[in-house]
Structure 1
């Protein structure tokens, strides 16, 4: 299985053509024993990624990572580092093109030191209790920490993967970030103030 997976990895020559981007983003990864561990990306290219973490597997082991702003990335561990490990990314050409675009955006964001999402003012709703629904119909009670015309941060017990489509109240969006007590959601479209006011700022009767 490991040998077959490695066939889809980029060759050494191909890997040299990928530009590594130094970023500080977080996520989690799963080893072949199905154990999950938190991690921080040190640098990344469409063909490779280096993680800082407490738990390290064995070279040649398959790894599945879920990285903030990036989403799911699969690969094979290539070597151990002093405080983590490096892995080769296994992806189609289309996936690598998408990774390159995401990494370019992240590099520019870090270079310009842009705030994470301050396009619109964030406020705390008067009625913070709401329901988050996944596309398969599952629903979870949640508490809105703050929201803006373009997204919301919510406290919730579950952690849908980055990129998963969700509905908060009546607002459709996707998960864009995890944090200690919940998740951040970006709405599919920028909302009108009166829509947010009607949805989240009415006191319960």
Structure 2
């Protein structure tokens, strides 16, 4: 996949850092910067993953590598940074995302709620720490954004890094949907007033500087 971004010829997120929805006494937290981890199937196969939404009862993941061979009702054990072990059964699969219904004791559930609340309160700091790649504004900021339906739209790159970009556009593709910026595929991670934030599916290596 070419990393070149040619010039033209990620329900909305309520915060650029996170969305935390209150449901009873349980926070349902969506992170702009997903937590890295690994998960294992019952056959012993392991995959890298990223956790992008979590509550006391469910967790939503993106598979970071490996074959997409998951099936509904698969039993999964995952180890996620800042959260530790999560265990449950797959209840939904969509593209490279899947949802897990968590299985744990009342004691484990209470510990998880505490961790989720901590993440919710510290999500802004966490997002800043995880944004390790320097962002800059390219001199040629106009580009073409292609949606999943194949339609092409002129847009403006507000800032760009090896891992993602902020794009000025009036479009609001669904969160987690796949778009193409120039020749590089990306996933929509957030909406904001001026446009969308995207994360490249493959780390870029030759971003244009001029």
TM-score normalized with structure 1 length: 0.48
| TM-score computed with the length of structure 2 as normaliser | 0.47
Structure 1 or 2: larger helix share? 1
Structure (1 or 2) with the greater strand fraction = 2
Structure possessing the higher radius of gyration over alpha carbons: 1
Q: Which has the higher contact order (CA 8 A, sep 6+)?
A: 2
